[in-house]
Amino acid sequence: MTQIKLRGFKLNTIVDRLALDLLTIIQDHLMDESFDMSDANQRDALHLRILLLLSRADYVNQLLFRDYGKTDAQVWHRMPSSHSSMPQGTSRRIHDQAITYLFKVLSRALTLAQNRKDKPTNMHVLLQYLCRFGFPPFWVEAQLKRDPKIRSSEGGERSFQRTAKIFELLIQKSSRSVSAIALRRRLEYGPYWLLANESSAEVPEEISLFDVLKAMPVPIDPVFVDDDNIQKVFARILDALNERYMLLRACGLDPELWLDREGPSIAVLKDMAKLRRCTEKKQQTEQEQNSKWGVVSHFRFCFREFQGERKKFAGCKDFDEFASTEAGSIMLNQPPISLNMAAADLEGEHAGHDSAETVAGTQQDPSEELSNQIDIKAQCRYIVEKNPKLFDELMKHVFVEILGSGCSLYDPVVWNDPVFLKLLSSSPLYDNLSRDECAKKIFRKANQLVNKGLSRCESRNGLFSHEQEMQR
DSSP string, 186-228: HHHH--EEEEETTEEEEE-SS--HHHHHHH--SS--GGGGG-H
Mark whether 397 and 461 lie in a shared domain: yes
CA pseudo-torsion sign 13, 19, 25, 31:
negative
* Domain match, 73 and 122 both: no
Whether 270 is in a domain gets the answer yes
Q: What is the tally of structural domains in the chain? A: 4
On whether residue 238 sits in a domain, the answer given is no
Domain final position from 73, 106, 139: 106
> Per-residue pLDDT for 358 more than 50?
no
Q: Domain residues for 195? A: 114-207
Instruction: Report the pLDDT value the prediction gives residue 378, as an integer from 0 to 100.
Output: 66
**Mean pLDDT (the chain, rounded):** 80
Within this chain, do residues 127 and 26 fall inside the same structural domain, yes or no?
no
Check if the beta carbon of residue 251 is closer than 8 Å to that of residue 299.
no
Q: Is residue 389 part of a domain?
A: yes
Are 36 and 122 found together in one domain? no
Domain assignment present for residue 5? The answer is no
Of 72, 106, 140, the residue that ends a domain is: 106
Amino acid residing at 311: K
**Which residues, 6 or more positions from 456, have their beta carbon under 8 angstroms from its beta carbon?**
468, 471
Residue 257: which pLDDT band, with cuts at 50, 70 and 90?
Answer: very high
Q: How confident is the model at residue 365 (pLDDT cuts 50, 70, 90)?
A: very low
Q: Give residue 83's pLDDT.
A: 57
Residues 202 and 144 both lie in one domain: yes
Say how far apart CA 385 and CA 405 lie, in whole Å: 17
Claim: this prediction has a pTM higher than 0.75: no
In a domain, 225, yes or no: no
* Residue 349 contacts residue 273 (beta carbons within 8 Å): no
Please tell me which residue, 331 or 85, carries the higher pLDDT value.
331
pLDDT surpasses 60 at 85:
no
C-alpha of 4 from chain center? 28
Same domain, 326 and 299: yes
What pLDDT score was predicted for residue 359?
25
Instruction: Look at residue 358 and tell me if it is in a domain.
Output: no
Same domain, 288 and 270: yes
Task: Tell me, yes or no, whether 69 lies in a domain.
Answer: yes
Domain identity same for 126 and 39: no
Output 32 or 136, whichever has higher pLDDT: 32
Cβ-contact 85, 45 below 8 angstroms: yes
- Could you give the C-alpha distances from 299 to 11, 68, 195, 404, 470, in angstroms and in order? 34, 21, 55, 22, 11
Residue 426 has pLDDT above 50, yes or no: yes
* Alpha-carbon dihedral sign for residues 182, 188, 191, 194: negative
- Could you tell me if 323 and 332 are in contact, meaning their C-beta atoms sit under 8 angstroms apart? yes
Give yes or no: residues 35 and 96 share one domain. yes
Cα separation, 149 vs 159, whole angstroms: 24
Question: What pLDDT is recorded for position 437?
Answer: 82
Whether 200 shows a pLDDT value over 90: the answer reads yes
Give a yes or no: residue 232 inside a domain: no
- 374 and 444 co-located in one domain: yes
Looking at the structure, do residues 395 and 298 belong to the same domain, yes or no?
no
Q: How far is C-alpha 130 from the chain's CA centre?
A: 26
DSSP letter assigned to residue 76: E
Give a three-class secondary structure readout of 141-182.
CCEEEECCCCCCCCCCCHHHHHHHHHHHHHHHHHCCCCCHHH
Q: Which of 77, 106, 135 is the last residue of a domain?
A: 106
Average the pLDDT over 280-289 and give the result. Answer: 68
Tell me the per-residue pLDDT of 145-199, one tens digit each, with 9 for 90 and over: 999 999 999 877 899 999 999 999 999 988 777 788 888 888 899 999 999 989 9
Report the C-alpha gap between 215 and 268 in whole angstroms. Answer: 36
Looking at the fold, whether 160 and 100 belong to one and the same domain comes out as: no
Query: Rounded to an integer, what distance in angstroms lies between the CA atom of residue 81 and that of residue 30?
Result: 26
Separation between Cα atoms, residue 205 and residue 89, nearest integer Å = 44
State the sign of the Cα–Cα–Cα–Cα dihedral 16, 18, 20, 23. negative
